[in-house]
Amino acid sequence: IFFGSEHITHVGMALNNKEYIHSAGSPYNRVTINSFDKADAHYDERLLNIVYGLRRVIPEPARVESAV
C-alpha cells in the first residue's frame, strides 16, 4: 500500500482485506496495524484519504480445479 497526496511518502503492507501494517511516524514512532474498516477501532481516515495506490508484490497462488 502506497500513501501520499502528490507523490509516495509512506509504504505499508496489507495483512488481509481490511488491515495493514506500517511504521507510524511522529508522534507515534512505532510499527502499528491500522484498518480500512470504518467500524474498526484501528481505522485511520487520514491514511485512507492519502492512499496513492495498491499493488500485489507476491502473486496469488494458482487455483487447482478438482477432478472429482
Q: Flag whether pLDDT at 32 surpasses 80.
A: yes
Q: Omega before 59 cis (within 30°)?
A: no
Work out the number of other CB atoms within 10 angstroms of the CB of residue 3: 19
Q: Is residue 59 part of a domain?
A: no
What is the pLDDT confidence band of residue 51, given thresholds at 50, 70 and 90?
confident
- Per-residue buried b or exposed e for 46-62, using 16+ beta carbons within 10 Å of the residue's own CB: ebeeeeeeeeeeeeeee
Asked whether residue 22 is assigned to any structural domain, the reply reads yes
Q: How many domains does the chain contain in total?
A: 1
Q: What average pLDDT does the structure give for the chain?
A: 85
**Is residue 62 one of the residues assigned to a domain?**
no
Identify the domain containing residue 8 by its residue range. Answer: 2-53
**What per-residue confidence (pLDDT) applies to 28?**
72
Nearest of 34, 47, 55 to residue 4 by alpha carbon: 47
Q: What is the pTM of this model?
A: 0.69
Domain presence at residue 39: yes
In a domain, 65, yes or no: no
